[in-house]
Chain A
């Protein structure tokens, strides 16, 4: 059983947490995410032009790059995380250009070597994924696909073709960290996706309170929280880990209680 299946077969829906690599004390923040109860970790690869992200993650990208973070640093963070946490699934999330800069095969091999389980490439739709997607699958790394409110039934099979790990449902047509979708629209969308795939469906975009997380957990296999964590890192800097841990723990207990 791979790490994703384990993470998504627990009694409660999985808590998926995002943090930008190289923004603040990342190693300690990752440990805090796990300590707070995160089931899956998304590690953001910083990029100069994060065009699908809202202000919080844009700022995190700039802080990280301003601190001199390189691709080698991101891979080093991943490698060390895997050594400390052998069981927790780790996903790299980011944009196509830094991922394919040295070639898709190079990146896929580096991910496998670092113990990365999956990759989310925001601006690599299935139509262009014959390079990166193939390389990742051959290296045993899951290409994780995104579905959105604009992904209609006709298009969904293309999105699911070659998808592995889990399906990330972006619940609003928009950028990260701003508004949240209505509960009903999320429930309907997840139900439709579950009809079409056996992959676990995790829902993200705009989720920041334990109440919101619990509500999404009622209908989804996973709850993704990113911008709210990144904002804590931005506000707390070196002191972020303890605050991140407490915040993640509050999400976790709300999710655990949601289906009781």
Chain B
């Protein structure tokens, strides 16, 4: 039960997190978005829905993911104990699958026959193609043509899983354009098509339902940490593109006032150059169905994000993070490409874990903050994806020919 002054009761009935969120979509989509909300309310109250979700997470995804104390990284950093929530051990190698399981169960419940999704790095596309194969639903993935060039292994994975991967040639040909194209396709196919959005953003109820499905991360971690150490962590750390792994970790702890939280955006080449840090370098605006912090110019034109991590270079951020920043409950920082690359190698070397470039941003932030904390303190970071997909990018950045 949440207390009346709980931070865990957002959004309001119109989908607003404070000033953020909402449902800024074309009229054609409004009835469907309202339908989805009704259906999600019913599913949320249905024990059978939860039972099927939990069963798939346990036996198909491989949950609960371990909570792991990183001894050599902790020793190397010389400060707080560093623990990881090992969501990179999930089926498909990242946290994205948690949300896809929940959404495809909703799609089936609503009688939808086709699935669409957008993807940037390809992780959400792979997770969506996976659940579509598992449930036998046709799947179309919209992916920027430039991202397709950068992420060939994931494109091949999606095709192996039976997905139709559509190259998006409009705009800058990256994630935001893929999302535009998915919305365009959805508008023309609302009668039979469900759109599985990959992050805790978009029109209400997506930010709420994606958060709820991803909150399994934080619920497990909270119980595991209490069981292992008898206490809660002092600091949670997670990387943020749209923010789904971070909100999934943070949300179950929001009312634990002694637990501090740090969200880590992608600073790309630096905050004074090209980056993808919407909170640090952006301002409030409206895009893709919600009001949130955006990278934009003085006229409200959206600017391109850059990060070495294709999963983080989105010019917006989930609206709940925008709210948590404004009320000061969560601190947000940013990490450059170069710092993330160092952290990537640090974890490989000290713990024998190859992290994705997305959580490498979180690890870089941990590496900065852990030495400043007491050795009795506990940091819990979300290791939200594994790095197999990124080895070509990292090799290129390090000047290694493969």
Contacts and interface: CB of A to CB of B under 8 A. Distances in A.
Interface of A: 47-55, 58, 62, 65, 70-71, 95-101, 122-125, 127-128, 145-152, 155, 159, 170, 172-175, 178
B188 A147 contact: no
B186 to A, nearest CB: 10
Contact of A71 (B191, B294, B299, B302): B299
B260 interface: no
A201 to B, nearest CB: 14
Given A49-B176, A96-B24, A97-B302, A150 B184 contact: no
Nearest to B170: A58
Contacts of B296: 97, 101
12 contacts: A49-B302, A52-B26, A96-B286, A98-B300, A100-B300, A125-B25, A125-B27, A148-B27, A150-B31, A150-B32, A170-B27, A173-B191
B287 A175 contact: no
Contact of A125 (B23, B170, B176, B301): B23
Interface in B33-69: 34
A106 to B, nearest CB: 12
Given A51-B184, A70-B299, A97-B287, A150 B23 contact: no
A159 B30 CA distance: 11
A120 B191 CA distance: 25
Contact of B187 (A52, A96, A147, A152): A52
Contact of A147 (B22, B27, B191): B27
Interface of B: 14, 22-32, 34, 170-171, 176-177, 179-180, 183-184, 187-188, 190-191, 285-289, 294, 296, 298-302
A55 B171 CA distance: 11
B26 A146 contact: yes
Nearest to B29: A150
Contacts of A100: 285-286, 300
Contacts of A97: 285-287, 294, 296, 300, 302
A62 to B, nearest CB: 8
A178 B170 CA distance: 17
Given A49-B287, A97-B294, A125 B300 contact: no
A173 B24 contact: no
B23 A175 contact: no
A173 B289 contact: no
Nearest to A151: B27
Given A148-B28, A175-B188, 13 more contacts: A49-B302, A54-B184, A97-B287, A98-B299, A99-B300, A101-B296, A101-B298, A101-B300, A123-B24, A127-B23, A170-B28, A173-B190, A175-B187
A159 B26 CA distance: 12
A48 B302 contact: yes
